[in-house]
Amino acid sequence: MYRSLPCGKGGKESHLLSKTGKKLSEKLHEALTAVLPIICIVLLLCLTVAPIEPGILLCFLAGAVLIIAGIMFFTLGADLSMTPMGERVGAAITKKRSLALVIVVGFLMGFIITISEPDLQVLAGQVPSIPNAVLILAVAAGVGLFLVAALLRMFFGISLRLMLIISYILVFALAAFVPRDFLAVAFDSGGVTTGPMTVPFIMAMGVGVSSIRSDSRAGDDSFGLIALCSVGPILAVMTLGLIFPAEGRFDASALPVIDTSTDLARLFLHSLPTYMGEIALALLPIIIFFGIFQVVALRLPRRGLYKIIVGLVYTYVGLVLFLTGANVGFMPAGSYLGQTMASLPYNWIIIPIGMLIGYFIVRAEPAVYVLNKQVEEITDGAISSSAMGACLSLGVAASIGLALVRVLTGISILWFVIPGYAIAIGLSFLVPRIFTAIAFDSGGVASGPMTATFLLPFAQGACLAVGGNVVADAFGVVAMVAMTPLITIQILGLTYQIKKKRAASAQAPVTGGLPDLPDDAIIEL
């Protein structure tokens, strides 16, 4: 006779492992869906218009494997740790009803998370005129100040549209005095600071703050934090541009020489400890900050705390794998492809090819998953993740096309960003508030590490091939990627609003019919 054993600790652990395994398989499918199209496009280019050295191709393929694994672990880790941490911190500071606490915590969180953002490290290393530390600290301070402004907006119910209008008037007024070499870098900084570290935490903070409110606008106001946080770095770098002389020369990174499989393995193994250390230092301040909150205010139960710790481990592993793959594998391939295609007699072909890459590459951005999921949850499925993904892809495709036009022609970035932001702000008067907030958030989210490590080197390589000014013309790709989703997402909102009005009018009762009569009335024909 066999008897069933009670589901004790072992049973719970088995159930937890099974659930985690199922989630990992789901995340793996998402990662493969995102990265495989990029691999196919690059392989097709290698076999046709842009032959690539075998070593660089192998490096790219190895990087793609690491990126897939990185996205899988990161997205699971963000669900388990970064999002719950942000929501609980946001809810905790709101409950206290202390403006001083909001200001201090908001600034510290914005400052700490931005310093730990890997994309910012990449950008700082590529700007020749400003010392890395100065640029990083200035950008972090800009994010901190504007995160405070975004939180205060939620507390006092200030219109996001009004704050965006004032912010961008200030940006473009300051742009008139900034040297040309700093303009593109300044607008790029607004995009790179809202990456995989910043987005999950800050967006979750917005949800946490809005959860305490009971008014009808709370859901709408949960978005918009990323939108305002993207403005701070632009103003910070422009200010530095007024202080530092536009000196220095852009030096293209040397392409790796890979003759054997041992060389390939050595290249990745040499870089892996670097990113392990960087991500550890990036996560440590967030962990310490959350730990203090846990002791002082949150006091989460052991089970919830254990879940967050496991999620942080997944986040760490995912970011290490992702950044190693992106920086070591994708960056050289992007630069090489850009140089090769821009050297062709028909170099205009780089524009449609770049647009095709842009369409698919945004789907591989880790933070995009966080945004799409949060939008679908907040809107109760009214805005689906697939619709968001399609609009983001179209927006990024258009932005890469415009950025490559700049590379080939040398047109100033202001000819693109001023009309672009004017259209985006104009649309904000026509669409529901929530779509404006989501659109401006999505701009910051779309311009993540994939843009910084593949599309930016792609544009830089093309600019070197045509003999352009890399700092003035190639930089700005991230800014363009951050701008166009503002328009496409709001057009989605406009379409949604029109469909909703049509559906409401179709369901409206027909007037002029029979009058309301009691149930027992006799109608004579």
pLDDT tens string 72-94 = 898 888 788 877 888 888 777 77
DSSP assignment string, 263-288:
HHHHHHHHHHHHHHHHHHHHHHHHHH
pLDDT, tens digit, 9 for 90 and up, residues 169-223 = 999 999 988 887 778 888 888 877 777 777 777 877 777 777 666 555 655 566 7
Structure tokens at 234: 């632009």
- Which of 9-13, 78-82, 300-304, 446-450 has the lowest average pLDDT? 9-13
In this prediction, residues 326-352 reach a mean pLDDT of 89
Instruction: Give, in degrees to the nearest 5, the angle at Cα 317 between 316 and 320.
Output: 85
Q: Cα 24 from chain centroid?
A: 22
CA distances from 409 to 2, 92, 476, 490 (A): 79, 51, 14, 29
pLDDT band at 249, cuts 50/70/90? low
Tell me the average pLDDT of the chain: 81
Tell me how crowded residue 425 is: count the other CB atoms within 10 A of its CB. Answer: 18
pLDDT, tens digit, 9 for 90 and up, residues 120-131 = 766 776 676 778
56 vs 255: CA distance, rounded Å:
8
pLDDT band at 438, cuts 50/70/90? confident
More confident: 13 or 456: 456
CA-derived radius of gyration, the chain: 25
Output the pLDDT for position 126: 66
362 vs 176: CA distance, rounded Å:
31
| Domains of the chain, residue spans | 48-499
148 vs 155: CA distance, rounded Å:
11
Structure tokens at 151: 């939180």
pLDDT band at 351, cuts 50/70/90? very high
In this prediction, residues 357-374 reach a mean pLDDT of 80
More confident: 381 or 60: 60
Task: Enter the pTM of the model.
Answer: 0.78
Output the pLDDT for position 523: 38
- Which of 55-59, 194-198, 512-516 has the lowest average pLDDT? 512-516
pLDDT, tens digit, 9 for 90 and up, residues 141-150 = 999 999 999 8
Output the pLDDT for position 253: 62
In this prediction, residues 400-410 reach a mean pLDDT of 91
Whether the pLDDT of residue 297 is over 70: the answer is yes
- Which of 144-148, 229-233, 282-286 has the lowest average pLDDT? 282-286
pLDDT, tens digit, 9 for 90 and up, residues 374-402 = 777 777 777 777 888 888 889 899 999 99
Nearest residue to 272 (alpha-carbon basis) of 70, 115, 54, 28: 70
Output the pLDDT for position 251: 58
In this prediction, residues 9-35 reach a mean pLDDT of 71
